[in-house]
């Protein structure tokens, strides 16, 4: 009942309230971004949503457009300013995504929308993260934010989808607030933002759950599975050359 009817209603109502209440914050941040980083104030990027449908995601800009002598953009580390780091640390840069939620592109809670270029890299299990709308925050964000490793990130995404409920969404919202206040997990271990996802070489460990569905042991918590091993495979990640 909650997933089919009330989740969408709560998304729209809460996002609309947030847009009104936070409108002074939007105005101040927009001016500061314009002064410190220039135009455009809003960063737009295509991202895949539910059923891999592409939409335009909105965020406050946090990086400069600095380029090298060949006209190529510098690394994230070079372009991410102190002001940009602050916006990211308190997740203010994500606020324009409230408009995406009202439009129906996103939900408040769900797997984070990743890059379009990652779509062909997912294995069959990872593709299920697009069975629902992407979220402003999610289970992976309260378990490490940008510092979480990719294999764990996908595990959390699938776990969330399997156990969607009002109780879980309330818990994620509460824990997200705590993490933002503590400013933890802003960057990955190897990058100023989030480490790039590399192609998954998939040999799958296939198990059978109580509904007789084949699912990957690497992606689904073992507590949800029977002890019946069907075939052996191992998923690992490696850099794309």
Domain limit, last residue, from 182, 197, 212: 197
**What's the number of CA atoms in the CB half-sphere (13 Å) around residue 22?**
17
Count of domains observed in the chain: 2
pLDDT tens-digit readout, 162-200: 999 999 999 999 999 998 888 765 555 555 566 788 776
Look up the domain containing 63 and give its range. Answer: 2-197
Asked which of 161, 181, 197 is the last residue of a domain, the reply is 197
The 10s digit of each residue's pLDDT in 42-99 is: 999 999 999 999 999 999 999 988 888 888 888 878 888 899 999 988 899 999 999 9
Q: How confident is the model at residue 124 (pLDDT cuts 50, 70, 90)?
A: very high
Question: What backbone phi and psi angles, to 5 degrees, belong to 164?
Answer: -60, 130
213 or 180, greater pLDDT: 180
At residue 193, the 3 state secondary structure works out as: coil
Q: Are strands 225-231 and 206-209 parallel, antiparallel or unpaired?
A: antiparallel
Residue 156: CB atoms within 10 A of its CB come to: 21
> Do 112 and 77 share a domain, yes or no?
yes
In terms of domains, do 228 and 124 share one? no
Please report the pLDDT score of residue 227 as a whole number: 38
100 plus 165 within the same structural domain: yes
The pLDDT, as a whole number, for residue 89 is 87
Are 234 and 131 within one domain? no
**Which residue is associated with the tokens 């073992």?**
222
Task: Decide if pLDDT at 222 tops 50.
Answer: no
35 and 118 Cβ atoms separated by less than 8 Å:
no
What is the reported pTM?
0.77
Same domain? 193 vs 165:
yes
Do 184 and 113 belong together in one domain? yes
- The answer on 203 and 189 residing in a single domain is no
């Amino acid at each position: 009942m909650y997933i089919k009817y009330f989740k969408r209603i709560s998304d729209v109502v809460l996002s609309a309230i947030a847009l009104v209440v936070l409108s002074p914050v939007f105005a101040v941040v927009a001016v500061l971004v314009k002064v410190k980083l220039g135009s455009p104030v809003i960063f737009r990027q295509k991202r895949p949503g539910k059923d891999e449908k592409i939409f335009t995601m909105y965020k406050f800009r946090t990086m400069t457009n600095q380029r090298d002598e060949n006209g190529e953009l510098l690394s994230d580390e070079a372009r991410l300013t102190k002001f940009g780091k602050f916006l990211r640390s308190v997740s203010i840069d994500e606020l324009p995504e409230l408009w995406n939620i009202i439009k129906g592109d996103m939900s408040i809670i769900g797997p984070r929308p990743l890059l379009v270029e990652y779509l062909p890299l997912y294995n069959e299990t990872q593709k299920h993260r697009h069975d629902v709308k992407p979220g402003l925050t999610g289970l992976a964000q309260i378990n490490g934010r940008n510092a979480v490793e990719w294999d764990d990130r996908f595990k959390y995404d699938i776990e969330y989808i399997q156990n969607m409920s009002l109780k879980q969404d309330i818990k994620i919202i509460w824990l997200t607030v705590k993490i933002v206040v503590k400013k933890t997990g802003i960057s990955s271990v190897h990058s100023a933002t989030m480490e790039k996802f590399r192609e998954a070489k998939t040999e799958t460990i296939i198990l059978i759950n109580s509904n007789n569905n084949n699912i990957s042991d690497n992606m689904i918590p073992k507590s949800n599975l029977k002890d019946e091993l069907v075939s052996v495979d191992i998923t690992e990640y490696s850099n794309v050359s």
